[in-house]
Structure 1
Amino acid sequence: MGTAEIAARLGVSRVRVHQIVTTDPSFPEPLDEIKAGKIWRADDVERWFAEHRPPRDPAT
């Protein structure tokens, strides 16, 4: 996943993703860096998301 895909998955801006990946030591390390930017394993991002984002209340 790239920054844009992570932003879409988390429901935040790409700027916010950049803030998260540079300041939150629990965020997974990138798999690699390509010309377009850093990329992460989708499984790693999904695991982090499950551990750090509370489930949404369906009533709200």
Structure 2
Amino acid sequence: MAETTPAAGEGTAGDEPYPMGPEEIRVRLGVSRQWAYTLIGRKDFPDPWRELAMGAVWRSTDVERYAVERAKRLAKGEGEDE
């Protein structure tokens, strides 16, 4: 039976990592498409896991770690610079 990739936001921290493209990252972070691409281009965003013909993909575990750290920064009122 073929494995399926979990939908954005599904799974737990202990699950096996799966690839996430910009759209899945956008949904997970709850941001606009434009802001997702801005965040992906920042120095503090994880490096892509693989470069495919369709574009870069990231490990879900790396994106989740980034999302947690980002939420902590935003909760402290640190905001986000472009």
* Fold shared per TM-score above 0.5: yes
Structure 1, unaligned runs of 5 or more? none
Q: Taking structure 2 as the reference length, what is the TM-score of the superposition?
A: 0.59
Q: Which residue of 1 aligns with 2:47?
A: 29
From 10, 16, 25, the equivalent of 2:35 is 16
Greater relative contact order, per chain length (Cα 8 Å cut-off, separation 6+): 1
Q: Which residue of 2 aligns with 1:4?
A: 23
Greater radius of gyration (CA):
2
Q: How many residues align?
A: 55
Q: Output one character per residue of 1:10-51: Cα deviation in whole Å (capped at 9) or x when no partner.
A: 1112221111111x2111000111122110000000001101
Aligned residues: CA RMSD: 1.7
Q: Taking structure 1 as the reference length, what is the TM-score of the superposition?
A: 0.78
Percent identity between matched residues is 40
Structure 1 segments, 4+ long, off by >3 Å, are none
Structure-2 separation of matches of 1:14 and 1:30: 17
